Structure 1
Amino acid sequence: MVHEDTAHSRLDERLIERCEDVPANPEPGAYVVIDTMHFSNTVIELLARGATHVHVPDERGEEFDYRAGHPDALIGGGRTAEYDPEDGYDFFNSPSYVQDIDVEGRPVSMTSTNGGRTVATLRERGGEDVDVFVGAPLNARAIGRFLRRREHPVSLVAAGYQGEIAVEDHVGAALISRYLDEIPPTETEIERCRDQLETAKGPDYVEKHAIRCRDVRAYAMNVNGRAVIPELSGDSLVRARAPDRSASRERGLAD
């Protein structure tokens, strides 16, 4: 993880370590939900590929109700053992899987056990007093620079995994915090982060399936690879416009 030893970063005061630690009455400000494996990256990729928005239901299964009212919507849910979407769904929570589906100009509905639940929790508890964003190592620089221009305080919410701390989410929080404080990590530090991200869910995780290998190596480890910033508007995540990147650059993976 990026260390804060010499940097005057405010990570400790910004970090909420798990979804379960979100306050019952969040203070006004911006909250960045970080679920590196894989909700954050899937949302970023869907918006980068032209989805109009990503609706986040309160519970898994409500995506079908959403599609009933939006016939052109694509919906995401669980996966089979063969890494196909469960019956009735168009995709599952995987940034590399959604590379191959046509979302241009279409709405999407999906949630997840960790990241989606955290977005819904903040939406319910914070109401109009909080602004919710989605971040990851993938868009750390873009979202850090974007939120640095705001007057309100920023909290970094690591979604965690089934109630436990997730290392990969804390890596994302550390990176975003550095960009918030205008203390960008060095290339050596970024390489250390990539090493941690590759093994965060266990040394054999990338060998589980080709899709998971791509999810980790092409997305989770791709620090600053996207400039897309998802922002919650109503019940859906939409694309906020980053002031420091042109729209054309935001549409593709950065060099």
Structure 2
Amino acid sequence: MKKYFFIIVLLVSGLTFLGCEKEESNPTGGGGNNNNTNPSGQPMPSFDTLANYNGTLATIYYSTTIMGFSVDQAMAFASFGTNGVDAGTVSVNGNNIPATAAGSSTYYMIPSAANPTQTLSGVNFNGSNHTWSIGGSANVSAFNASVTSVSNFNVTYPVSTTTHSKSSSLAVNWNNGNSNNKVMIVLTGTSGTGTYMSAELSDNGSYTIPSSSLSGFSGQVLMQVVKYRYSVAASGGKSYVLISEVVKQVTFTIN
């Protein structure tokens, strides 16, 4: 139990992941760009250019291996306004999500650094609905809205034992494709060399990253393959984006 607790603390304390330089133009259906610098620490599409955009509400299933242990974590994250404002009570599928203050900003997250072992109940990633309830405040009007979740999947290539030559294009493969989903792929060199973020992709099971995008990598690389769906809710003249995503993380080598 102590070992499990340590892994979860390590996971949550490390959620503020390195922001990636965007290597490709990547508009989403909402007119924004993919984003890897939000407080959840997980990459997700950005909709900040959507008309009357006023917040993102995301359910995230994150899967990786840390120190030889498989870690699978369901998360919920919400941020309102331009820089994070109070929205009253926030819940998803009946789970009340606590507010977290970060300087002058407020966001909502489970688990959080303050409570790294808090878990979600009844939030499944199998095509079921994730229903959000926002109590409202002076900044955000109250509303309820849902998004259909994506289903779990696996990355079949590359894997942790892969060593790939940067002079060759990299074919990334995954299973359980669905035409209703979108995909993005993020690569980050763990030594600080090389970053890559794909455009929005179709969930057809494969995407080839050209060798020209791999030239900056050398050594161990962290790859995140993200499947997501989203819906847009309107309330009080503002637009709110609900996202469901599954993030699969693989560490391999590029030389």
TM-score (norm 1): 0.33
TM-score (norm 2): 0.33
Between Structure 1 and Structure 2, which shows a larger proportion of strand residues? Answer: 2
Identify the structure with bigger relative contact order (alpha carbons < 8 Å, sequence gap 6+).
1
Between Structure 1 and Structure 2, which shows a larger proportion of helix residues? Answer: 1
